[in-house]
Structure 1
Amino acid sequence: MNEVKIGEILLPGDRSEQESKAQKVRRRFWPTLKRAVRQVPFSRDLVAAYYCAMDPATPLRTRGILLGALAYFVMPFDVLPDVLAMVGFSDDIAVLTAAFAAISGQIKENHYDKADTALGEEGLAA
């Protein structure tokens, strides 16, 4: 996956773009995570990123980057279709890794606490 494409996916966008992405992410996040949990090596970070992106206290730029990456993760049609065993989520992992690097340190402990609770409730905790 080329860096320009990842950069385009991670553009923070304005508030209306972010809200549109947030709605898609809210609808599709948990079903997609359940399909991907065994293929995504950092599920806890991914769920914490979800809570960080939905947190109104998160800075607009950070929220936009995370929403872009999460929207890409939940979209059923991307560079590598997610239904392909073992490789389907590899492009999603690349986008998410770039997003985590771009927002370094912005996911707070309370987001991880919510992630741990949610993963336990969903039966997805390791």
Structure 2
Amino acid sequence: MDEGQLQEKLEKGKRFYSSEKFWGKVRRYGKKAGGSVVYSVLLLYYTLQKPEVPKKTKATIIGALGYFILPLDLIPDVAAGVGYTDDLTVIGAALIQVAMYIDEETKEKAKEKLSDWFGGHADTTAIDQQLLQETDDE
């Protein structure tokens, strides 16, 4: 996905974001989406709550979360095995853009919520390593 396509998806997603819609989607589809998707959206959600995050960064987060909420994706979320692929692409790109604002406190909040839903069995290592690499590259 090139930068133009990502920006288009983020702009489209902004129209669908609200905190209520976010939590509703996570509750309904979290287990089906899997631990990586849920952890990623939780990281974005908790980063969005931080007052020190710039408005432009918050707009990126809102766009990505809105795309996650979006009722009609390019690949429907109910498609077995691949339904969250496009969501994860947009969410992953947003994570890379906002990595510098995701601190240990944010990760812990996301992991606690993830543990509540997945019983502590969700592996967050790959995403945490990606975030660490992104912040080290800067």
TM-score, normalized by the shorter chain, greater than 0.5: yes
Deviates more, 1:61-70 or 1:105-114: 105-114
Partner of 2:8: 8
Partner of 1:107: 102
TM-score (ref. length: structure 1): 0.74
1:29 equivalenced with 2:15 (yes/no): no
Give the direction of change, closer, same or farther, for the CA distance of 1:31–1:125 in structure 2 (3 Å limit). Answer: farther
From 47, 56, 76, the counterpart of 1:52: 47
Q: Is the contact made by 2:40 and 2:91 (CA closer than 8 Å) also made in structure 1?
A: no
Give the Cα–Cα distance (whole angstroms) in 1 for the partners of residues 99 and 50 of structure 2.
Answer: 16
- For the aligned residues, what is the CA RMSD? 2.5
- Offset of residue 2 of structure 1: 5.3
User: Residues 87-112 of structure 1, C-alpha deviation per residue, up to 9 Å, x if partnerless?
Assistant: 11111011011111222321122211
Give the direction of change, closer, same or farther, for the CA distance of 1:74–1:104 in structure 2 (3 Å limit). Answer: same
Q: Is the contact made by 1:10 and 1:68 (CA closer than 8 Å) also made in structure 2?
A: yes
- Offset of residue 65 of structure 1: 0.6
Give the Cα–Cα distance (whole angstroms) in 2 for the partners of residues 68 and 125 of structure 1.
Answer: 29
- Offset of residue 48 of structure 1: 1.7
Going by fraction, where is helix more abundant, 1 or 2? 2
1:63 equivalenced with 2:63 (yes/no): no
Give the Cα–Cα distance (whole angstroms) in 2 for the partners of residues 26 and 125 of structure 1.
Answer: 24
Give the Cα–Cα distance (whole angstroms) in 1 for the partners of residues 40 and 51 of structure 2.
Answer: 19
Consecutive unaligned residues in structure 2, runs of 5 or more: 122-138
SS of the aligned residue for 1:121 comes to: helix
Indicate the percent of aligned positions where both proteins have the same amino acid. Answer: 29
